[in-house]
Amino acid sequence: MTQKLPLNPNQWRPEYHFSPSEGWLNDPNGLVYCDGVYHMFYQAGEHRRRWDHATSEDLLSWSEQGTKIQDTQSVQSFSGGAVVDRGDTADFGENTLVFTYTGHHDDGTEDQRLAYSTDIGDTVRTYNANPIIESATGDFRDPNAFWYEPDASWRMVVSRVEGTRDRPAGIEVYSSDNLRDWAYESTYRDTDGEEWECPSLFELPVERTAESRWVMIVSSIENCSVEYHIGHFNGTEFVAEDVILADYGYDFYAAQNWENPPRHGELVVSWMNNWAYADNGPNPGWRGVMTIPRTIALHNVNGDVKVHQYPAAEVARMRKNVITDLSQETVVPDENPLEQVDIGNRTLDIVATVDPRNADTVEFRVCEGRTQASSIVYDTVNEELHFDRTNAGAFFDNDAYGTTSMPLKLREDGTVKLRILIDRCSVELFANDGRRTMTNLVYPDRESTGVSFSSEGGAAEVERLMVYGLETS
């Protein structure tokens, strides 16, 4: 990897993804919606973690609200979640925002703590009887509470990354009537020995059926990736029936869902980075970006329940102009139907439906300049989608993190459908109506704004290709 800093520190600052005005950002924390406002707390402080706060009414334009849970001389404030205590079960007042988080002590031990806000996040107080779950060991973190309607009480999931003499590694489930006193219920164990953190647990309907499933989100430390575990929860134990990789890119980690979402489906956001290189990436005075919030839904696919993921609906509202609109266009090798199109935008929403026909590969090149491009290739022979950022600009070159792939079968009509979201430092792919996703950082030069399309080994047909310029209001 190589690093080339821009002359302008905002060259790569995203237009519609959240990034801090200055300093460090990693895990999203305390995601909660209340009174028309999305709240996003997050891990700030490169060397000592604390909770900073941002708010938005549309998930795209964010206002920073400052630090809300400080670190102290001996305890850092690690990740956790948030709920709206509508019924005042914790005795802090109706509709109080209650936060659960990990206290990371300088000796390495980690315990679980509580904080709350009675003014919708303007001020946050730490609970004076912390910790709410004591611990004499480390690697025990990321508490995330939720309301369990069947018995009208609270549940919380916490990651025990490494097992102890008394408890196995896995995701622990706790119960409580008041958010302050918690009882251990069970551990959802990983039989393959993976180390997990950043858990969430929620129920979703299976679209167009009378069924539902519970979804547990975990982040795999070893692979720096996110998994959706699909299964059943009875209030005490979670049992999985399938595990799905959430994203096939390198930069989707520590995902968390919004508590109390205002609409059908769950909204999820993640840190767009990777611990393999996060500490070494370009540092123009701010470091860290969140992914676009995405809606996740469950679908019955040939008898199996699968996750589909879509960009939040608000993204489409940013479409300010149609840069190009192609339909029913045959493309032969060495031909680029976008050659005469002046893209000129660094923020794009590309929606394409392509029939590969007899082509071996079809390729989109985005963030393209004279010598740069991010390459998106569909391989019809192996039914795979490849992403290559080895020539995408600063930092990433031909190393282990330069290319990635994901399995992707053609749709029933023989086409592949892609939605490609481009911001100044990222490319996010949603393939075949959200069946697969891929998220990657890129650091192109400012003038690398081109988009091209080509086929190899035969002709392909562009059934529809729309390129929209995006702009936040």
Lateral strand order in the sheet of 183-188:
140-148, 153-160, 170-176, 183-188
> Quick one: tokens of 391?
């020539």
Q: What is the pLDDT of residues 399-456, one digit of tens each?
A: 789 999 999 999 999 999 999 999 999 999 999 999 999 999 999 999 999 999 999 9
Pairwise CA distance, residues 70 & 208, whole Å: 45
DSSP 190-248: -TT---EEEEEEEEEEBTTSS-EEEEEEEEETTTTEEEEEEEEE-SS-EEEEEEEES-S
The C-alpha atoms of residue 198 and residue 200 are separated, in whole angstroms, by 7
Strand segments, DSSP code E, in 132-176 are 140-148, 153-160, 170-176
Higher pLDDT, 1 or 331: 331
Contact assessment for residue 50 and residue 29, using Cβ atoms and an 8 Å cutoff: no
Confidence band of 66 (pLDDT split at 50, 70, 90): very high
Residue 122: the pLDDT is: 98
Go through the domains of the chain in sequence order and give each one's CATH number: 23-291 (2.115.10.20), 319-470 (2.60.120.560)
Question: What count of Cα atoms within 13 Å lies in the side-chain half-sphere of residue 99?
Answer: 32
What pLDDT, on a 0 to 100 scale, did the predictor assign at position 7?
Answer: 46
pLDDT tens sequence across 111-121? 999 999 999 99
Residue-level pLDDT at 399: 75
445 assigned to active site: no
Phi (first) and psi of residue 454, to 5 degrees: -155, 165
Residue 248: its pLDDT value, please? 98
Contact between residue 112 and residue 100 where contact means Cβ atoms under 8 Å apart = yes
Span 74-92, mean pLDDT? 98
Please check the confidence at residue 6 and state whether its pLDDT lies above 60. Answer: no
Q: Which two tokens stand for residue 198?
A: 């950043």
Whether the per-residue pLDDT at 1 is higher than 90: the answer is no
Is the pLDDT at 229 greater than 90, yes or no?
yes
What are the C-alpha distances in Å from 120 to residues 142, 156, 456?
22, 21, 55
Q: Is the confidence at residue 3, as pLDDT, over 60?
A: no
pLDDT at 306: 94
H-helix segments, 1-144 = none
What average pLDDT is seen over the chain? 95
**Mind listing the pLDDT tens digit for each residue in 165-190?**
999 999 999 999 999 999 999 999 98
CB 214 within 8 A of CB 238: yes
Query: Is the backbone of residue 88 left (phi > 0), alpha (psi -120 to 50) or beta?
Result: left
pLDDT above 90 covers what percent of the chain? Answer: 92
Asked if 288 and 273 touch (Cβ cutoff 8 Å), the reply is: yes
Q: Which residues on adjacent β-strands are paired with residue 375?
A: 365, 388
Record the tokens describing residue 213, joined without a space: 């499933």
Indicate which residue of 27, 139, 142, 247 is catalytic.
Answer: 27
